[in-house]
Structure 1
Amino acid sequence: MSLAFAGIGETRVIIDFVGKDDVKRHLQDLGFVKGESVKLISENDSGFIIMAKGVRVAINRNLATKIMVA
């Protein structure tokens, strides 16, 4: 399932990324790494606030659909 479908307050583990290599690299540069836990903090019309490695990161819906979680 993609991170975009996780519920507010849920903690999930990143299992994969989808998309082109430059998108995957961008997500990794933002701190999203396979095997790491991420928590969906909040959601609004334009995107999400995600807690990754103790840091809050804002991403848009398109990027959230590229992050596969379990």
Structure 2
Amino acid sequence: MPLTFCTIGQNFILKRLSGDSAVRQHLNELGFSVGSPVTVISSLGGNVIVKVKESRIALDHKLASRIMV
């Protein structure tokens, strides 16, 4: 399920990153690695704020839809 469909406040485990290699590398540098826990803090219009590795990161709808949990 894409990160954009996740319930606010619930913990999820990252399963897969999609997109080309540059997008996957960028997400990996932000802390999104397969097997890491992710929590959606806020969601508005498909854009989300997530907590990953004790950091809060804002993602637009396009980038958040490439993260599968």
TM-score (structure 1 length as normaliser): 0.92
Structure 1 residue matching 2:24: 3-state secondary structure: helix
Shift of 1:45: 2.9
TM-score (structure 2 length as normaliser): 0.94
Kindly report structure 1 stretches of 4+ aligned residues shifted beyond 4 Å.
none
Shift of 1:47: 1.1
Structure 2 stretches lacking a partner, 5+ long: none
Aligned residues between the structures: 69
Shift of 1:43: 1.1
Structure 1 stretches lacking a partner, 5+ long: none
Indicate the residue corresponding to 2:14 in structure 1.
14
Shift of 1:46: 6.1
